[in-house]
Amino acid sequence: MKTETTTLLVIGGGPGGYVAAIRAGQLGIPTVLVEGDRLGGTCLHVGCIPSKALIHAADEFERARRHAGSSPLGIRAPAPELDLPTLLGWKDGIVARLAGGVAALLKKSGVRVQSGRATIVDGKTVDVVDAAGERVRIGCAHLLLATGSRPASLPGLPYGGAVVSSTEALSPPSLPRRLVVVGAGYIGLELGTVYRKLGCEVAIVEALPRVLPAYDAELTRPVASSLRRLGVDLHLGCAVEGWDAGAGVLRVKGGDGAGFDVAADRVLVAVGRRPATSGYGLETLRLAMAGSAVGIDAECRTSMRDVWAIGDLTGEPMLAHRAMAQGEMVAEIIGGARRRFAPAAIPAVCYTDPEVVVAGLSPDDAAARHEGTLTSAQFPLAANGRALTLESADGFVRVVARRSDHRIVGWQAVGRGVAELAAAFGQSLEMGAVLEDVAHTIHAHPTLGEAVQEAALRALGRALHA
């Protein structure tokens, strides 16, 4: 067995682990990154990037179909056809290009990448078996765990055959005629919409009474309406009983207790993800847990000295930008900086049609935690010129602020193209902006950003365009 030592050993080359390694390398910290699959992790290979590529392609396909019908824009075009292998090749090309970029950045910052699955021996020692079967034992001063998460499964619906997770749904060998999606969260809605726009019949079965139940009802209403307009069958407040592969039906129990079947050729299970805590010796460390996730403090330290954890392994919110921010911070702390992970907000975007963005507190949070001390106001996109020219009048921008000093504590928006407002929302929260800061900023016309300014003006009682 080969042996070596390093200062920082990172297990997992997803957005959390590779960003931590790059920053550590930049700071001159001797760093080894162990990745058992592909650099870039879930996000790059089977998550954020391939899903957004397919969402874009499905939008384009659906737009072309609309033009082939009776487009109000006066565009007349022949009915489009889909070349699935070319589409998947285009998506994989984007992923490959970005993965090459990650490898180049790691190399540039002096990180040694060790391919192979890591097994934890103790808090300072990890064994790696590479593809050739050769074993390497790596000793380290600091161990950073960034092993991510795996799709959750349902007891009556094991993966295999027609029952797939998002990983398989992002690279389908063919499109099913009928897809049933279990779970109306991020993945279920993003990918369910893709399949529907590409021409499949889609039904969604959700346990709770609303789509995107983590968000407030008003924010998700335009998404539910759009799904219905697209022809997606929504079965809300329903329990999945099991999959009858022979009959090709999903057995479901409705909210009233009555059972019914949903016929399908494929079932996408999207009921959340679980931290990847098993299969690589993590349990030998006996770390304090926070539910099913590894417990961490505000510096991402675990309960064992010099063992750190970041990203999906540490639980919700399971978002790539959170993992990256934690990774960058841990590298800096190991490099001697004083840092804490205490963001004013971690914005989240759901790439549904229309898109949903949230950052900071919602009015529901405000009602629960800050009764009477907060105010909120929203501006409809129907009154925004840019939104109308983009055929996206459905939706709004909402601001939540403290009554006392007008300090902004939250933003939400729903509408086509609003994902890009996440930057403005995050900055205003992080910089401690007050309503007047946003209201008095000149926003370019015509842009969706004007709805941000108008929401702040409305909260001050002086909206101009509504």
What residues are annotated to the active site?
445
- For residues 18, 24, 29, 34, the Cα torsion angle rounded to the nearest 10 degrees is -10
* Cβ contact 61:196 at 8 Å: no
Q: Are strands 266-269 and 273-275 parallel, antiparallel or unpaired?
A: unpaired
CA distance from start to end of the chain: 71
Q: Does the protein bind ligand NAD through residue 311 (CB under 6 A)?
A: no
- Beta carbon nearer to ligand NAD, 187 or 433: 187
Q: Find how far residue 322's CA is from the centre of its chain.
A: 10
Q: Does the protein bind ligand FAD through residue 426 (CB under 6 A)?
A: no
Q: In angstroms, give the least distance from the CB of 169 to ligand FAD.
A: 8
12 binds, among ligand FAD, ligand NAD, none (CB under 5 to 8 A by kind): ligand FAD
Q: Does the protein bind ligand FAD through residue 51 (CB under 6 A)?
A: yes
172 binds, among ligand FAD, ligand NAD, none (CB under 5 to 8 A by kind): none
Q: Does the protein bind ligand FAD through residue 275 (CB under 6 A)?
A: no
Q: Does the protein bind ligand NAD through residue 273 (CB under 6 A)?
A: yes
Q: In angstroms, give the least distance from the CB of 381 to ligand FAD.
A: 22
Q: Find how far residue 52's CA is from the centre of its chain.
A: 10
360 binds, among ligand FAD, ligand NAD, none (CB under 5 to 8 A by kind): none
Residues 132-191 close enough to bind ligand FAD by CB under 6 A? 146-149, 166, 187
Residues in the chain: 466
CB atoms within 10 A of CB 123: 17
Residues 316-335 close enough to bind ligand FAD by CB under 6 A? 318-321, 323
- Beta carbon nearer to ligand FAD, 37 or 233: 37
Closest among 53, 54, 56, 49 to 14, alpha carbons compared: 49
* Cβ contact 10:23 at 8 Å: no
Q: Which stretch binds ligand FAD (CB under 6 A): 13-21, 424-432, 437-445, 452-460?
A: 13-21
Cα 382 to Cα 311, 379, 392, 455: the distances in Å are 38, 9, 8, 13
Q: Does the protein bind ligand FAD through residue 35 (CB under 6 A)?
A: yes
Q: Does the protein bind ligand FAD through residue 118 (CB under 6 A)?
A: yes
Q: In angstroms, give the least distance from the CB of 148 to ligand FAD.
A: 2
- Beta carbon nearer to ligand NAD, 54 or 300: 54
DSSP per position, 77-126: -PPP---HHHHHHHHHHHHHHHHHHHHHHHHHTTPEEEESEEEEEETTEE
Q: Does the protein bind ligand NAD through residue 120 (CB under 6 A)?
A: no
Q: Which residues sit at the interface with ligand NAD, rule CB under 6 A?
A: 154, 182-188, 190, 205-208, 213, 240, 270-273, 317-319, 348-351
